[in-house]
């Protein structure tokens, strides 16, 4: 088993931790905006966006819940991920990207399956959320990995 520097298991200094959380949150925001714009021409995404805009199951865009989902949740998600990565004592070869994908499979994807089975909306919406949340998790993990590699593990 290869040995890694002690820095891999140490909680990062507060400025590095804050930079990782804020940067990963911004990365998820920009990724979400890009995917919503870019996926409008793809069949399942177009159907999902139309359904989310007209269905009474989903909150309206101007509601406080949607404001949190669009603006606050990426930062909370990044904060929880950075704490979990440290608390689970993850070290290479478990990179932040791999950890984000595993946590996504355990949490977000499972939640989407439960939502699909219990709330009345189409499979297109489930597929859209599964795809976009997985890409967001990968972006978040890549940003955290880059910051940790350059400022924390260096």
Output the CA angle 20-24-30, nearest 5 degrees. 150
Spacing of C-alpha 29 from chain mean position? 10
- pLDDT tens digits, 57-105: 666 667 787 778 778 889 999 999 999 888 888 877 788 899 999 988 8
Sign of CA dihedral 92, 93, 97, 100: negative
pLDDT for the residue 1: 41
The pLDDT tens digits for 35-67 are 888 888 889 899 988 888 787 766 666 778 777
Going by pLDDT thresholds of 50, 70 and 90, the confidence category of residue 28 is very high
Cβ neighbours around 68 below 10 Å, total: 12
Q: Using a cut of 0.75, tell me whether the model's pTM lies above it.
A: yes
Question: Distance between CA atoms of 132 and 140, rounded to whole angstroms?
Answer: 12
Q: What local confidence, expressed as pLDDT, does residue 2 receive?
A: 47
**What is the percentage of the chain residues whose pLDDT exceeds 90?**
30
Token duo for residue 123: 């499979």
Residue 154, pLDDT > 70, answer no
Average pLDDT, rounded, for the chain? 84
Cα 116 off chain centre by: 19
Q: Rounded to an integer, what distance in angstroms lies between the CA atom of residue 81 and that of residue 103? A: 9
- Residues contacting residue 126 through CB under 8 Å, at least 6 positions apart: 112, 113, 115, 116
């Amino acid at each position: 088993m290869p040995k890694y520097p002690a820095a891999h298991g140490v909680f990062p200094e507060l400025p590095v931790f804050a930079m990782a959380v804020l940067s990963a949150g911004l990365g998820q925001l920009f990724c979400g905006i890009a995917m919503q714009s870019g996926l409008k021409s793809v069949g399942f995404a177009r159907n999902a966006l139309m359904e989310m805009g007209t269905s009474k199951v989903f909150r309206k865009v101007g509601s406080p819940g949607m404001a949190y989902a669009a603006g606050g949740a990426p930062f909370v998600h990044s904060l929880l991920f950075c704490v979990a990565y440290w608390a689970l004592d993850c070290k290479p070869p478990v990179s932040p990207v791999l950890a984000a994908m595993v946590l996504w499979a355990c949490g977000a994807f499972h939640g989407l399956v439960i939502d699909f089975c219990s709330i009345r909306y189409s499979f297109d919406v489930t597929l859209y959320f599964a795809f976009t949340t997985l890409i967001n998790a990968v972006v978040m993990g890549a940003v955290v990995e880059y910051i940790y590699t350059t400022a924390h593990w260096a």
